[in-house]
Structure 1
Amino acid sequence: MCSSHQPPCPTPEGAGRHSAVVVTAHPEQGWSLLCDGTLVFDDTGELLPDGRVVDPHRVPGPPVVAV
């Protein structure tokens, strides 16, 4: 699917799939489309081109302390 730039993006199944280029971004809706056809969401979840779902995989940050 990715052919508009060099080097081409890795496949959605590849280990480096997170380096694919954003083709369309809709931050107001919380998602972006990558050139390999993957939809990535602000919560770090993904929808792969073949319909598989990748659950959100956020790394917890430090606790928030109220001042």
Structure 2
Amino acid sequence: MNKRKILERALAGSKNISFSDMITLVEGFGFRLSRVKGSHHIFTHPRVVELVNLQNVKGKAKPYQIR
């Protein structure tokens, strides 16, 4: 699925987004995978101070992380 469609689904309130689609979305905004520790995938961005922490749960992104 392309980034625009993933973003549209997330903005529409879908809680059923695959983990791989969520990674595609955050990477589309310029974030890069910094490290993985257990189930935690930590993404960083050169212009954003905050880290983005995503967890894969049975192939899906956690609903609170999609909001």
Higher strand share: 2
Select the structure with the greater relative contact order (CA < 8 A; seq sep ≥ 6): 2
Taking structure 1 as the reference length, what is the TM-score of the superposition?
0.29
* More helix as a share of residues: 2
Q: TM-score, normalised by structure 2?
A: 0.29
